[in-house]
Amino acid sequence: MDQNRSTTYQRIGVVGGGAWGTALALAALRAGRETTLWAREPAVVEAIRGTRENRDYLPGVTLPEALRATGDLAEAADCDALLLVTPAQHLRFACGNLAPYLPPETPVVICAKGIELDTHALMSEAAASALPSGTPVAILSGPTFAAEVARGLPTAVTLAARDASVGGALVEALGSRTFRPYLSDDVVGAQVGGAVKNVLAIACGVVEGRKLGDNARAALITRGLAEISRLALALGGRPETLMGLSGLGDLTLTCSSLQSRNMSLGVALGHGRTLAEIQAGRRSVAEGVYTASAVVGLARRLGVDMPLCGAVDAILNRGAGLDETIDGLLARPFREEGY
């Protein structure tokens, strides 16, 4: 890599004051960058400024004085590179609000994982439709829990960009000893892996909540990876991407720990709670709830078979019962293993 790239993006803006946005702002600070964090809620901005803590979304983590907090989008957009860490279903709207303040040469790194519900668009497609024409867009995805990144624990991610020069400069700008981006040019594969794994994590949570065993969870992860791969390939992604951090890595983490919002939601469903009851007690977003329907719609349009995602969508959005849905999956015809 060009040794001068690390000086290209010195000022990093982060749009999204939740746990993940705050954790990424800390990662950028550790990489030696000047960092500004934008939050929608004035109370979050004031708490960060006054107590050096994001008590609502990332309690117990001290935020350095060097981290600037703002509620002004223009201030956040006055940067060399911008990380977008809004909920997936709000990304297009956020990009539209940012567009008047963002120079077209400023790269935007999408850190949200999902597929747009109304349009079935990937996040890069939704962003590109609202950002200034020609804005470089990259994807950051991989096996990450915000609390661990915030604490500086070792983490590896995929940073996907079609422009290798932009991607390489972003890796240099954000990478540190404990936050290690691996460069890819497969923007499609990185997005599909990050989006669909949230849906499958809900399914794994149901397996846990219904006490169906570790064998069932391992089978679900494996066959779920096949579904991710089929969809990614249909959209032009590459199979090797799905074997990497933004595919298998992210899927394994999210389907194996109750730190995952999506898996913990699935566990609660498995215990018999309704979706409305679960969501009423949460501030954070479980993206898989919205992505399930979008994935199924996109798969149907492309003619891709995704029975596990279809089952999750049926449970969440179509009133299907847990036991009857599980029975339906177990009654599927035997077939050869493969993608």
Per-residue model confidence (pLDDT) at position 339: 64
pTM: 0.95
Per-residue model confidence (pLDDT) at position 52: 97
Per-residue model confidence (pLDDT) at position 67: 98
Per-residue model confidence (pLDDT) at position 285: 80
Per-residue model confidence (pLDDT) at position 3: 39
State the Cα–Cα distance between residues 21 and 32, nearest whole angstrom: 17
Contacts of 215 (CB under 8 A, 6+ apart): none
State the Cα–Cα distance between residues 97 and 83, nearest whole angstrom: 14
Tokens linked to 96: 């539209």
Tokens linked to 67: 């981290």
Per-residue model confidence (pLDDT) at position 105: 93
Which candidate, 247, 190, 168, 144, places its Cα nearest to that of 7? Answer: 168
288-302 vs 187-209: helix axis angle to the nearest 10? Answer: 120
Which candidate, 221, 217, 248, places its Cα nearest to that of 143? Answer: 248
Per-residue model confidence (pLDDT) at position 168: 97
Per-residue model confidence (pLDDT) at position 1: 36
Active site residue 197: yes
Per-residue model confidence (pLDDT) at position 283: 79
- From the list 92, 197, 217, 261, the catalytic residue is 197
Which candidate, 284, 263, 258, 281, places its Cα nearest to that of 57? Answer: 284
pLDDT averaged per 10 residues, the chain (length 339):
57 97 98 98 97 96 98 97 97 97 95 97 98 96 98 98 97 98 98 98 97 97 97 97 97 96 96 94 87 97 98 95 95 86
State the Cα–Cα distance between residues 181 and 203, nearest whole angstrom: 28
Q: Give the CA distances from residue 260 to residues 114, 142, 143, 199, 228, in Å, rounded to whole numbers and listed in that order.
A: 15, 13, 11, 12, 19
Q: Which domains does the chain have, with CATH numbers?
A: 5-185 (3.40.50.720), 189-330 (1.10.1040.10)
Per-residue model confidence (pLDDT) at position 336: 87
Per-residue model confidence (pLDDT) at position 324: 96
